Amino acid sequence: MAFEQVAHTAPAADSMRLMSTQCDATGADGSEGFTVFEGSVARLDEVRSIHPFLTALRQRLIDEGVLHPDGAGLRFAKPYVFASPSTAAGVVTGRNANGRIEWKDSAGRTLKERQEAALGS
């Protein structure tokens, strides 16, 4: 399974944000995968070049009530863990995405930069 429901959120210091065209989401990377938090907003439409896997996953999340239409976007009704930050970013942005550079912390550092810094410590 590509994602699972979780009952917790990460501390604010660990939170990452993805803001792009018609989306604004928060989440955190962890040992289980990348969690997108409840209340995050995903882009309603998709670009034509989106990978079919992401289209199918977005539809499944809508069908299961994880995502629901809310104004001009799709709101997460509950937090979900995705297998990777890129899958989470692709669902949120409605396009293929590299989650390691799309998700950023409050200082503007990418997930990739944070991971590389953690390896160097």
pLDDT in tens, 77-109: 999 999 999 999 999 999 999 999 999 999 999
Question: pTM for this one?
Answer: 0.88
Residue 110: domain span: 3-120
Residues composing the chain: 121
Q: Which two tokens stand for residue 29?
A: 């990377």
Q: Which two tokens stand for residue 87?
A: 């899958």
Q: Is the pLDDT of residue 9 over 70?
A: no
- CA of 98: how far to CAs of 32, 53, 88, 89, 103, in Å? 18, 15, 10, 7, 9
- As for how many domains the chain has, the answer is 1
What single DSSP character describes residue 93?
A: H
What single DSSP character describes residue 65?
A: T
Give residue 5's pLDDT band: very low, low, confident or very high (50, 70, 90): very low
Q: Is the pLDDT of residue 121 over 80?
A: no
| Mean pLDDT value of segment 44-61 | 97
